Chains A and B, each alone.
Chain A
Amino acid sequence: MKKFIISMLSIVLGLIVGGVILKLSGISPLEAYQVMWEGAFSQPNYISYIIIRSTPLILTGLSVAFAFRTGLFNIGAEGQFIIGAMTAAYFGFVLNLNPWIQIPLVMLMATLAAAFYGGLSGFLKARFGVHEVLSTIMLNWIALYLSNHVIFIEGFRRPSMETTEFINPSTSITILEDWKISDMGLEWLSRHEFWQSFMRPPVNAGIFIALLAVVIVWIILNKTTFGFKLKAVGFSPLASEYAGINTRIKMTQSMMISGALAGLAGATHVMGVSKNIAVLAAHEGYGFDGIAVALIGSNHPVGVLFSGFFLGALKYSGQKIQSSLEAPSEVIGIMIGAIIFFIAIPSIFNFVLKSWRKNP
Chain B
Amino acid sequence: MSLKNVSLLLVSFFMCTVFSQTSFAAPLKIGMVTDVGGVNDQSFNQSAWEGLQRTKKELGIKVSYQESKQDADYPANLETLYDAKNDLIWGIGFKMADAIMIAAKQNPKQKYAIIDYSYGDKTPPNVVGVMFKAEEGAFLAGYIASKMSKSGTLGFIGGMSVPIIHSFQYGFMAGAKYANKKITILEQHAESFTDAAKGKAIANQMMGKGADVLFHAAGAVGDGVIEAVKEKDKMAVGVDRDQNYMAPKNVITSSMKRIDNAIFNVVSELNKGVFKGGKTIEYGLKDGAVDIAPTTTKMIPSVLLEDVAKLKKEIVAGKIKIPNNQKAYNSYLKTLK
Contact = CB atoms under 8 A, between A and B. Distances in A.
B75 interface: yes
A338 B1 CA distance: 27
Most chain A CB within a 10 A radius of its CB, from B81, B83, B160: B83
A322 B94 CA distance: 22
B71 A284 contact: yes
Interface in A183-223: 200-202
Interface in A261-296: 269, 273-274, 278, 281-282, 284-286
A324 B84 contact: yes
A282 to B, nearest CB: 8
A219 B298 CA distance: 72
A347 interface: no
A218 to B, nearest CB: 28
Contacts of A53: 76
Given A181-B106, A324-B84, A201 B65 contact: no
Nearest to A275: B98
Given A160-B162, A281-B193, A319-B67, A269 B80 contact: no
Interface size class of B (residues with CB under 8 A): 20 to 34
A323 B64 contact: yes
A178 interface: no
B76 A201 contact: yes
Contacts of B161: 160
A69 interface: no
A201 B201 CA distance: 44
Interface string B77-111: 10111011000000000110000000001100000
A7 B321 CA distance: 66
B95 A278 contact: yes
Given A278-B95, A326-B1, A181 B67 contact: no
Given A316-B76, A319-B66, A323-B81, A274 B71 contact: yes
Given A162-B95, A278-B95, A326-B1, A320 B163 contact: no
Interface in B47-84: 64-67, 69-73, 75-77, 79-81, 83-84
Contacts of B1: 326
A286 B71 CA distance: 12
Nearest to B161: A160
A329 B84 contact: no
Contact of B160 (A162, A269, A319, A322): A162
Contact of A323 (B31, B94, B95, B163): B31
B75 A181 contact: no
B72 A201 contact: no
A23 to B, nearest CB: 15
Contact of B65 (A160, A269, A322): A322
Nearest to A56: B72
Contacts of A322: 64-67
Contact of A320 (B75, B80, B162): B80
A73 interface: no
Given A322-B65, A323-B64, A324-B64, A274 B72 contact: yes
A323 B66 contact: yes
A93 interface: no
A303 interface: no
Interface string A305-323: 0000000000010011011
Interface in A146-180: 152, 160-163
Interface of B: 1, 31, 36, 64-67, 69-73, 75-77, 79-81, 83-84, 94-95, 105-106, 160-163, 191, 193-194, 220
Q: Which 7 A-B pairs have the closest CB atoms?
A: A323-B64, A281-B194, A160-B162, A323-B66, A284-B70, A278-B71, A49-B76
